[in-house]
Structure 1
Amino acid sequence: MRDVETDPAASFAKTWQAVAEAGLSGIGIAEQCGGGGGDLLDQMVALEAAAHALTPGPLLGTVLVGQIVRAAHVSAPDSCNEVLSAIAGGARAACALRGSVALAGGGARGDLDVVLDVVDARWMLAPADDGSWVLIAAQGWEAQPEVGFDLTRRGGRVRVAAGPDDVLHLAGVDADAVRRVFVALVAAEAAGVAQWCLTTAVDYAKVREQFGAPIGSFQAIKQLCSHMLETAESVSAVAWDVGAALRSEVPAEEANYAADVAATIALDGAVAVAQDCIQVLGGIGFTFEHEAHLYLRRAVALRIAASALTGGTEQSAARLARRAGAGQRRASAIDFEGADSRFRATTRPEIDAIAQLPADEQRSALARAGYLTPHWPRPYGLDAGPVEQLVVDEELARAGLSRPDLAIGAWAVPTIIDHGTAEQAERFALPTLIGDVAWCQLFSEPGAGSDLASLSTRAVRADGGWKLTGQKVWTSRAREADWGICLARTDREAARHRGITYFLVDMTSDGIDTRPLREITGDAMFNEVFLDDVFVPDDCVVGEIDGGWKLARTTLANERVAMAGTKLGLSTERAVGLLDGRGSQADEARVGHQVALATACQLLGVRSTLRSIAGRGPGAESSVAKLLGVRNRQEASELVVDMLGPVALYSGDDPQVSNDLHEMLLTRCLSIAGGTTQILRNVVAERVLGLPRG
């Protein structure tokens, strides 16, 4: 690129020769045409990798033409095969982004003022004035190339004067079809750009020192890099999904939905990550010599190019909101390739039999059969792996059965099973599953919230057990709970992460004073719990004395695996419903952004599930999904109240408006409970990205 920076006719010949020899532009072309025999998603993987390396040249335009011609293959097989074979062999192709040609007498004429990848192109994909798309051979047009904003590509203006022999009419190809494929390809490139920018920023933050320490140890840089990870993973997820939708040949409307999600998130996302990369790099990132600005240029150029076919991010978001309002959703499904058949054959009749029981007997039957918590070890679960867990979910849904929410019990009991005694597991596991025992969590203290290791509740040895004294706070459902899991300090001289023990506390014990805390919603789900010499017998100590910190941080290795449904979440669905054809385009765009964010969260969950099925450990997407899920619920609930307008000031007797206001206030706790968003981002920065501790 640097060698031909100012040459408008630069063809990037050496690079393109390497691209052709590697077969990168033909991966998604059939083998009989000389291609790699892959599909669009395979081609997108190559495009993502090429963008990560900022490979210069006309790969995007050429791949687009190959995929569109492949889709139109049935209309003119001989001509299409000729084009596909040439592209697989290294021929280049271009795409018109603005303007159209007039068709007359089988030929085409017109001026196209923005054409991507025009230098040395053998064909050009262009829209016609009748709404169709045509492929025009190079002898039918004259190009005026220019150096554009993206210095790694060449485009320009084209004047078309093509005869009938120079024009291939692509039957069945319309603007929606081209837009879907183009969005998929630019989203793949955006993913590559975003990942390079993230990696570059993180690597630099690990070694660049200021004030005597690596800048990656500074909280501000950790927060920025963690946010970059959230965005980069979202870009990858939505790009992957639109490719998967087109690969599986879902109905056009569902594919359009996936494309609008990608257009709403991926293009702005890549630009944001590229900007943040330069911010982390500081002055060196602002120099022309560093490559960071070339990636920013590519990201911005991709967004501009995509807007020619999508109308831009806001129009994509508005379209998405209208699609959601019409009932469209992105449904995810997994092909188990037969790995589920044997387990399903035994599971289905058992679950069907449970479904026939009286409603008040179903929970107990599910618990005793292991279907309530299939990921738990036997006899309380099924020791189920990811595939088996998903099969149970599907069969329960098919039979119309739903699991009760175990709340804190879903965390407490696995810890007891994993680290406690067999007697403790027998005492607490099944009663929790069938609903006889409810739990609360006595962890947080006034001086130990996110910094839980600072807890000061003390446990002192007593005859046959321990006496606990201290104050716990923000304890959900403490007044309704039968038992509490409690951390207390058993060695006050030990380091702060040591000397902590994990106790099971009978909430009816003497010395417990539970006081409700009224929250901003007006409810009192939280409580303060005061412990004054509360006796806990030795058989209610879980694990080793002074070893409780490890228990507080771990759960069973076989974590719960689940597939996201098609619902977008309470507030996002409510916002979609409030539009009801009456919203302005600005309102539609705001709702569409939340629909896209909610869908991205679902997709991150799907990707995490697929990793589990493949036997791989949890990836970045699981951490990112939690952070983005909180953001989505908070932003969507606030949007709902904003859309209500003045009626929200005095809701009167309208229960729906009251619920909307309650939800908006309630979601404020989500970025605090279980560790604040800022602390979680620090954890992600250190454990996922590997940035140094401060």
Structure 2
Amino acid sequence: MPIGITDEHQALSESLRDWAKGLGGIELARVAEGAASADFDDVWRGVRDYGVAGIAAPEPNGGGGTLLDAAVALEACAHELLPGPLLGSAVAAYHAGAAGLDDMIDAVIAGGCGIALDPVLELGDRLAGSVPVAYDGGGAAHLLLGARGADGEERWFLLAAEQVEVRPQVGPDLTRRVAEVRVDIDAGEAVEVPGLLGEAVRRTALTLAAAEASGIAQWCLTTAVEYAKVREQFGAPIGSFQAIKHLCAQMLETAEAVAATAWDAAASAETVLSDPGDTSQWDFAAEVAGVTALDGAVRAAQDCIQVLGGIGFTFEHDAHLYLRRAVALRSLLGGGDAHAVALAGHAVAGIRRSVRVDLDGKDEEVRPRVREAVAAVAALPEASRRDALVDAAYLAPHWPAPYGLGAGPVEQLVIDEELAAAGVARPDIKIAGWAVPTILKHGTDTQRARFVEPSLRGQITWCQLFSEPGAGSDLASLATRAERVEGGWRLTGQKVWTSLAADADWAICLARTTALEDAKRQGAKQHGITYFLVDMGSEGIDVRPLRELTGDALFNEVFLDGVFVPDELVVGDVDGGWRLARTTLANERVAMASTNLGGSVERAVALAEGRGEADLARIGHAVALSSVCALLGVRSTLKALAGRGPGAESSVAKLLTVRNRQDASELVVDLLGPLALTDDPQVREDLHQSQLTRCLSIAGGTTQVLRNVAAERLLGLPR
């Protein structure tokens, strides 16, 4: 998924990709290989005429867009590896516009602009010194350079290339030219950008570089997947090999994470408009992008070459050009560790990213009604609130009436916001959150009347009898059998890894009404599975606790020995249970993003005091990954608001959330050092978390199986 979520942004992205592809920029870059003064003039005329570099400049200068608009544009251009000084020019145009330098904006857009990220010039009566690297400076008509006065005050200037000595250089990126710049002019001849500081230049450059990184990662993913579908080895497409599936699925994780952080960095720039003195939200989001996007683009390009194999290692293929661009961006702005140290500092200072979903006025009709209803709930004693939430249909508002409101994304978000503002927490309905939607969609009226409302009120608790010793991730291989008897069925078999089984009143259970071998002969082992509702007090059920590596017994084995289930407790059609097991309501749940980083990450941040850079970098990486997981959820919500169904981000979020929780809990134990051996209660809890999270990459389908599923269903790789 590209950075842009709205229809307007997606249309802009597609239009710019088509336009950039038609310019033939990659061939021009190849022709210019080794030439310090590359001829990208024709491309730049197109950039100027199309208004790409100045999208975020003021409207009178042909702009009028936001920095997010600019990010969408730069991502699209990077996808086609558009050559020329686009990044530097976009940064300079944005800051010149903010400073009101209208004439200079036009000049920057017309001739391009190189930028330096550090104020290394000296300022007195003269502006003088040497800038070793001006990015996009080779061949650009202007340069944005910083200086310090004798008192250490920092000031920035837009200089014409004719005013200074520019020495273009050929770097690793064949599509761009850096330059060494020597300056020695009367200070009065320099056009100052008032109020600008290097930290602002660097932040904007990092934000737009992350957008370019997203375009690179997407091109690399698409190229690798398309090749894996058609390239054959050992008599089969290489995309059918699990190793390639996993590599492509990991590239998908990378591309989605890069896009999410680039989007948020650009979107967070808008927070500065409401309070120009507070850049904390943008600083935080930009550093998350710095940790994630730049390394991510390099990794995606490397993995693309790996999938391509020998052809990917040739100069003839374009893949190395994308790797070169990614390496250049990372070299300019720094690798992930440096940004992670800075991000850890922000987190320790108490800064958290607060992403607000703009409902664009769509909430005005429902908010007064919701606020009034929530206020009535909040006025009740804590013990009475659950029933009040059920009566108002606010416990699961996305469920259909009369149990919910059939609420769409906007109404759901408004309810969440108002409940949070009033301090009302919804109770966790646990396994009922999976069982009841299936009953709502596929059950009978009698089943709905019997189970739905009592489940919401907490009068019925559920467990899930799905997994078996021989059917975990491969659930369709389950062997528990259901034999037809008078008035119903008798279930016999063994289930395992069943949480809440010792306390549950009812279970959802999958069992075979057609033998596995017969189902295979009919074409699919998923055939012949039926969905049952099982009374856990029935005769023939034996629940045995399973003690996990933590020492706890959260899970259970459940043995079913001829357990009778009447016909009225079959959900849906006999032999049709597999489809039901995969049920989600068409009206999906959406949710707000939390500003909390998660228990283990917050604990790691709390342990940051006095740590060296290596530990701070690890903490910063954990903060970044936690932020990525939250951002993927926000982007799913925004897609729902735009009327589009769930995309790759929901599957990627599960994979990354597992990694986030496992890595963060392990990090906490590492940070404790020898203290991890003590019996301090907090330390014991830290150790318990690190052990408990090991199950996350197994439960609900192992990470490896989920990557296979992502590769096949999301990327279209062959089985």
TM-score strictly above 0.5: yes
Is residue 698 of structure 2 the alignment partner of residue 648 of structure 1?
A: no
- Looking at structure 1, the residues matched to 46 and 193 of structure 2 have their Cα atoms a distance apart, in angstroms, of 30
Report sequence identity in percent.
Answer: 60
Residue 91 (structure 1) shift: 1.8
Please say if residues 137 and 166 of structure 1, whose CA atoms lie closer than 8 Å, have aligned partners that are also in contact.
Answer: no
Deviation track 1:156-202 (CA, whole Å, cap 9, x = no partner) reads 21111122353122222112211110101110100000000000000
2:370 corresponds to: 347
Residue 114 (structure 1) shift: 1.0
1:477 corresponds to: 500
2:706 corresponds to: 680
Is residue 576 of structure 2 the alignment partner of residue 547 of structure 1?
A: yes
Residue 94 (structure 1) shift: 0.8
Q: 1:412 aligned to 431, 435, 439, which one?
A: 435
SS at 2:510's partner residue? Answer: strand
Q: 2:108 aligned to 84, 87, 104, which one?
A: 87
Deviation track 1:52-96 (CA, whole Å, cap 9, x = no partner) reads 0001111111111111212222xxxxxx111112234x2211112
Is residue 311 of structure 2 the alignment partner of residue 296 of structure 1?
A: no
- Looking at structure 2, the residues matched to 27 and 527 of structure 1 have their Cα atoms a distance apart, in angstroms, of 59
- Looking at structure 2, the residues matched to 11 and 127 of structure 1 have their Cα atoms a distance apart, in angstroms, of 27
Deviation track 1:570-613 (CA, whole Å, cap 9, x = no partner) reads 0000000011x211111111100000110111111111100000
1:668 corresponds to: 694
Structure 2 letter corresponding to 1:84: I
- Looking at structure 1, the residues matched to 42 and 193 of structure 2 have their Cα atoms a distance apart, in angstroms, of 32
- Looking at structure 2, the residues matched to 119 and 409 of structure 1 have their Cα atoms a distance apart, in angstroms, of 63
- Looking at structure 1, the residues matched to 118 and 405 of structure 2 have their Cα atoms a distance apart, in angstroms, of 59
In the TM superposition, what are the counterparts of 1:317-466 in structure 2 within 5 Å? 317-466=340-489
Structure 1 letter corresponding to 2:654: K
1:12 corresponds to: 40
2:291 corresponds to: 264
SS at 1:574's partner residue? Answer: helix
1:494 corresponds to: 519
Query: Comparing 442-451 with 391-400, which one deviates more in the overlay?
Result: 391-400
Residue 359 (structure 1) shift: 1.8
Q: Report the RMSD for the aligned CA atoms in angstroms.
A: 1.1
SS at 1:143's partner residue? Answer: strand
Residue 99 (structure 1) shift: 6.4
TM-score using structure 1 length: 0.96
2:644 corresponds to: 616
- Looking at structure 2, the residues matched to 214 and 400 of structure 1 have their Cα atoms a distance apart, in angstroms, of 55
1:30 corresponds to: 58
2:26 corresponds to: none
Deviation track 1:357-408 (CA, whole Å, cap 9, x = no partner) reads 2222110110121100000000110000000111111111111110111111
Aligned length: 677
Please say if residues 508 and 533 of structure 2, whose CA atoms lie closer than 8 Å, have aligned partners that are also in contact.
Answer: yes
Please say if residues 320 and 595 of structure 1, whose CA atoms lie closer than 8 Å, have aligned partners that are also in contact.
Answer: yes
1:76 corresponds to: none
Please say if residues 52 and 196 of structure 1, whose CA atoms lie closer than 8 Å, have aligned partners that are also in contact.
Answer: yes
2:598 corresponds to: 569
SS at 1:156's partner residue? Answer: strand
Is residue 532 of structure 2 the alignment partner of residue 503 of structure 1?
A: yes
- Looking at structure 1, the residues matched to 435 and 336 of structure 2 have their Cα atoms a distance apart, in angstroms, of 44
Residue 98 (structure 1) shift: 5.7
2:9 corresponds to: none
SS at 1:332's partner residue? Answer: coil
- Looking at structure 2, the residues matched to 225 and 584 of structure 1 have their Cα atoms a distance apart, in angstroms, of 35
Q: 2:715 aligned to 678, 689, 694, which one?
A: 689
1:77 corresponds to: none
- Looking at structure 2, the residues matched to 645 and 119 of structure 1 have their Cα atoms a distance apart, in angstroms, of 50
- Looking at structure 1, the residues matched to 394 and 529 of structure 2 have their Cα atoms a distance apart, in angstroms, of 34
Q: 1:158 aligned to 159, 163, 181, which one?
A: 181
- Looking at structure 2, the residues matched to 208 and 166 of structure 1 have their Cα atoms a distance apart, in angstroms, of 60
Please say if residues 187 and 235 of structure 1, whose CA atoms lie closer than 8 Å, have aligned partners that are also in contact.
Answer: yes
SS at 2:560's partner residue? Answer: strand
- Looking at structure 2, the residues matched to 355 and 448 of structure 1 have their Cα atoms a distance apart, in angstroms, of 45
Please say if residues 139 and 168 of structure 2, whose CA atoms lie closer than 8 Å, have aligned partners that are also in contact.
Answer: no
Please say if residues 108 and 141 of structure 2, whose CA atoms lie closer than 8 Å, have aligned partners that are also in contact.
Answer: no
Is residue 144 of structure 2 the alignment partner of residue 121 of structure 1?
A: no
SS at 1:24's partner residue? Answer: coil
- Looking at structure 1, the residues matched to 336 and 184 of structure 2 have their Cα atoms a distance apart, in angstroms, of 34
- Looking at structure 2, the residues matched to 29 and 99 of structure 1 have their Cα atoms a distance apart, in angstroms, of 23
Please say if residues 117 and 153 of structure 1, whose CA atoms lie closer than 8 Å, have aligned partners that are also in contact.
Answer: yes
Residue 27 (structure 1) shift: 1.5
SS at 1:125's partner residue? Answer: strand
Please say if residues 542 and 560 of structure 2, whose CA atoms lie closer than 8 Å, have aligned partners that are also in contact.
Answer: yes
Residue 515 (structure 1) shift: 0.4
- Looking at structure 2, the residues matched to 8 and 166 of structure 1 have their Cα atoms a distance apart, in angstroms, of 28
Residue 97 (structure 1) shift: 4.2
SS at 1:341's partner residue? Answer: coil
Is residue 129 of structure 2 the alignment partner of residue 110 of structure 1?
A: yes
- Looking at structure 2, the residues matched to 83 and 99 of structure 1 have their Cα atoms a distance apart, in angstroms, of 20
Please say if residues 123 and 187 of structure 2, whose CA atoms lie closer than 8 Å, have aligned partners that are also in contact.
Answer: no
- Looking at structure 2, the residues matched to 494 and 119 of structure 1 have their Cα atoms a distance apart, in angstroms, of 67
Query: Comparing 638-647 with 163-172, which one deviates more in the overlay?
Result: 163-172
Deviation track 1:224-279 (CA, whole Å, cap 9, x = no partner) reads 00000101111111111110011332631121111111111110000000000000
Runs of at least 5 residues in structure 2 that lack an aligned partner in the other structure: 1-28
- Looking at structure 2, the residues matched to 521 and 503 of structure 1 have their Cα atoms a distance apart, in angstroms, of 32
In the TM superposition, what are the counterparts of 1:48-59 in structure 2 within 5 Å? 48-59=75-86
Deviation track 1:318-347 (CA, whole Å, cap 9, x = no partner) reads 111111111100001122122111211111
Structure 1 letter corresponding to 2:289: A
Structure 1 letter corresponding to 2:230: V
2:215 corresponds to: 192
Please say if residues 119 and 156 of structure 2, whose CA atoms lie closer than 8 Å, have aligned partners that are also in contact.
Answer: no
Please say if residues 99 and 113 of structure 1, whose CA atoms lie closer than 8 Å, have aligned partners that are also in contact.
Answer: no
Deviation track 1:402-452 (CA, whole Å, cap 9, x = no partner) reads 011111100000100100001101100010001010000000000000000
In the TM superposition, what are the counterparts of 1:52-67 in structure 2 within 5 Å? 52-67=79-94
Is residue 656 of structure 2 the alignment partner of residue 637 of structure 1?
A: no
2:98 corresponds to: 71
1:537 corresponds to: 566
Residue 139 (structure 1) shift: 2.6
Please say if residues 101 and 108 of structure 1, whose CA atoms lie closer than 8 Å, have aligned partners that are also in contact.
Answer: yes
Structure 1 stretches of 4+ moved >6 Å: none
1:276 corresponds to: 303
Structure 2 letter corresponding to 1:494: A
Please say if residues 114 and 135 of structure 2, whose CA atoms lie closer than 8 Å, have aligned partners that are also in contact.
Answer: yes
Is residue 316 of structure 2 the alignment partner of residue 285 of structure 1?
A: no
- Looking at structure 2, the residues matched to 164 and 519 of structure 1 have their Cα atoms a distance apart, in angstroms, of 72
SS at 1:476's partner residue? Answer: coil
Please say if residues 136 and 178 of structure 2, whose CA atoms lie closer than 8 Å, have aligned partners that are also in contact.
Answer: yes
Please say if residues 257 and 320 of structure 1, whose CA atoms lie closer than 8 Å, have aligned partners that are also in contact.
Answer: yes
- Looking at structure 2, the residues matched to 556 and 677 of structure 1 have their Cα atoms a distance apart, in angstroms, of 25
- Looking at structure 1, the residues matched to 382 and 115 of structure 2 have their Cα atoms a distance apart, in angstroms, of 61
Please say if residues 467 and 498 of structure 2, whose CA atoms lie closer than 8 Å, have aligned partners that are also in contact.
Answer: yes
SS at 1:504's partner residue? Answer: strand
Query: Comparing 317-326 with 468-477, which one deviates more in the overlay?
Result: 317-326
